[in-house]
Structure 1
Amino acid sequence: MSETNYRTNPLDRFDRAILDILRRDNRTPQRTIAERVNLSPAAVQRRIAAMEANGTIIANVAIVSPTLEGPRIAIVVEVHLVNDRSELVEPIKALFRQTVEVQQCYYVTGNGGFVLIVSVPDMASYEVLARSLFADNDAVSTYRTLVVLDAVKAPAAP
């Protein structure tokens, strides 16, 4: 199957089955994937290569244990901007992208807002971060902080 076919045709059940396996563990051997989806290893290899080439698979990453840097506090922050104008939104996106503590950032509907997943070593660090990113930022009208008690389902826990 060529890359062109993948771009013009939706994913079939084999592609979706392969992706389901790779989402859980992208190091699963192709022969194991082939057995699970009832294809030959060569067919699985071609399909994975095509999905990588056409952008269906955008990255293969390692999820590093959050305990590597010592204890961390995960915080969900809901941020509301004063308005949704591009000249306000785009610089905020850039600011959130470049801030190391911001692990994930989503621009969402409703009240010109973002939802951020932030990781900090302690609440004092979060206070400093919150002042610089939100409280002292003229583009931000309000923000709400939710401290995570338990990561029930997170990227590191398939």
Structure 2
Amino acid sequence: MVDKIDRAILSLLRADGRMSNARLAEAVGLSPSACLRRLHLLEASGVIRGYTAIIEDGAATQSTVVIVQITLDHQTDEHMKRFEAAARKCVEIRECYLMAGLTDYLLRVEAQSIADYERIHSEILSKLPSVTRIQSNFAIRNVIRNFSKS
């Protein structure tokens, strides 16, 4: 169970994932060893799934972001688990959300170009289990990217 101190650790890491354990421990009022134990527990339990670098949009990362709405032919637990397991294996799918509303899943897909997205659509997305409808929306530019609550 995540408590107040764990939430503080998560908030600080969300703002600065490279924060040293010593700084993190000081900020939350723990000894470095106690803080590291909590951090390892958060990682082992899956609360912290990993660490990543946030790359600024620009010439080094020329990619097309596509927001994709997926509708399944059946919304049973079995169909959803099969879809989710298959989606996790697709490196082009950067994010996947189970939705309430008209579509079942919302995906954020990154492609190198429109032609690359056409390949992803035909070779990957259309072959995911139980997919009956794919609606693609191309992002023009990122307006807000906020990974921390500060």
TM-score w.r.t. the length of structure 1 is 0.70
Q: Could you tell me which residue of structure 2 aligns to residue 106 of structure 1?
A: 97
Flag the structure with more relative contact order, 1 or 2, with Cα contacts below 8 A and sequence separation at least 6.
Answer: 2
C-alpha RMSD of matched pairs (Å): 3.1
> Is 1:63 aligned to residue 53 of structure 2?
yes
Q: Which amino acid aligns with 1:61?
A: Y
Matches within 5 A, 1:6-155: 10-53=1-44, 55=45, 57-63=47-53, 65=55, 70-86=61-77, 88-111=79-102, 113-133=104-124, 139-151=130-142, 152-153=144-145
Give the CA deviation at 1:64: 5.6
TM-score w.r.t. the length of structure 2 is 0.73
Give the 4+ runs in structure 1 shifted more than 6 A: none
Tell me the percent identity.
26
For residues 41 and 124 of structure 2, the distance between their equivalents in structure 1, rounded to whole angstroms, comes to 41
Total equivalences in the alignment = 146
Uncovered stretches (5+) of structure 2, i.e. residues with no partner = none
Higher gyration radius (CA): 1
Q: Is the 8 A contact 2:97 2:106 kept in 1?
A: yes
**Greater Cα shift, 118-127 or 98-107:** 98-107
